Structure 1
């Protein structure tokens, strides 16, 4: 007989959209006592920045006001567990926060984030930082314990089920990277996507015009609008960004 967790793993691998995947994953994690999740991923990390927040993949079931302030107002830049995630791979209990405070390595800005989180009932949990082959890519997820669970409760639960929880989150992370994700205001029309696909296939402007049954000027218009939608300067950048978002070479179905 298939175990409930194995059935969940199979369902996660079969999810065909980020929305379906995330809904299932949130329900799976809630059964372990993590009723709120915050996932973030960037492919545009540099030495001084995680990139434009508008290019992040952000998934969460936390109150949207919290997520807006934490991500789009830039509070994440001072979050201690974000710092930990950038410097480490694997899973970490939030007891590391107490260790940071005891060692005096928590800055005033980080302490303000901890107070901000406490105001929203975010006090106990685990973080998972996913390993990446690229220095520019980084993903992590915060698993937030339900009200009433102490960090000691969370750690005891992790001792029992941590390997399965980490396996599920690793699968979800890898699955997210294969599914189309369109940040706000960056979606492409079918014609824009098609034009970029042919550019990515090495076709010339005249080739693309012939294939699409358009004039070269109309093809360039589609490419210009695609560059604007993706907020990039060149068509090469547009091809790369659309490919990274899995907006290209995907079935309309």
Structure 2
């Protein structure tokens, strides 16, 4: 059972890393010792957006993530496809049914073969409710090696509601906390000038407020656009806000 202390721990963390550590340790208690979480706010009808903008968290070994994530194998994973089209939890028993009925594509079979080589054979996936057509988040919970899908399903029948609750809370907290890839991280000054732009200030206004020259303000805005890989300052404000890099309360 989940108690109020545990919920408060999830609700009051100030960093994604701390939250992720809490979730990893809690899921391990249910037998899920390897997790992959992914989220995007830039989904379109034909793309999940730039991979540099994804929120990706995992405690799998690099032997697994280097192939599944970095080499793009996830793009053909049946459970990833399921998560993009559904919401809620799903037992990986659906993979066994797909294999039995011969409905897997050659690329999907390649994913399953790789997963089997890494002891990623039993588990559950959770596709989180989307807040807009551009967003999608999901997590794959891999059961420890040697645990059968039947055992996982039996455990889920008892603890599934608690597991689902904790993962939904973690997902919502991740979306509210600052997180970005190192190459897309803004400096303190870049965050500051974007924040003022978001508040409706002009370059001249910001120069006066920060005691800088307009040219220096323009430089910081240009560097922020470059860091975020966008063309306009308006896009930079939007993306930085999505990533919680601006308009946030600094943690102590």
Structure 2 residue aligned with 1:32:
30
Contact 1:8-1:28 at 8 Å conserved across structures:
no
Q: What TM-score, normalized by structure 1, do the two folds share?
A: 0.96
Structure 1 residue aligned with 2:175:
177
| 1:73-222 alignment runs, 5 A limit | 73-222=71-220
Deviations 1:33-74 (A, max 9, x none): 000100000011111111111110001101123223222221
Contact 2:2-2:162 at 8 Å conserved across structures:
no
Counting matched residue pairs gives 251
Contact 1:53-1:71 at 8 Å conserved across structures:
no
CA distance in 2, matches of 1:6, 1:133: 26
Contact 1:186-1:230 at 8 Å conserved across structures:
yes
Q: 1:226 aligns with which of 224, 227, 230?
A: 224
Structure 2 residues without counterparts, runs of 5 or longer: none
How much does 1:101 deviate? 2.2
CA distance in 2, matches of 1:248, 1:64: 31
1:156/1:72 CA distance change after superposition, 3 Å: same
CA distance in 2, matches of 1:97, 1:5: 34
3-state SS of 2:182 partner: coil
Structure 2 residue aligned with 1:237:
235
How much does 1:4 deviate? 5.3
Q: What TM-score, normalized by structure 2, do the two folds share?
A: 0.96
CA distance in 2, matches of 1:159, 1:136: 32
CA distance in 2, matches of 1:57, 1:78: 19
CA distance in 2, matches of 1:82, 1:65: 19
How much does 1:23 deviate? 0.3
In angstroms, what is the RMSD of aligned CA positions?
A: 1.2
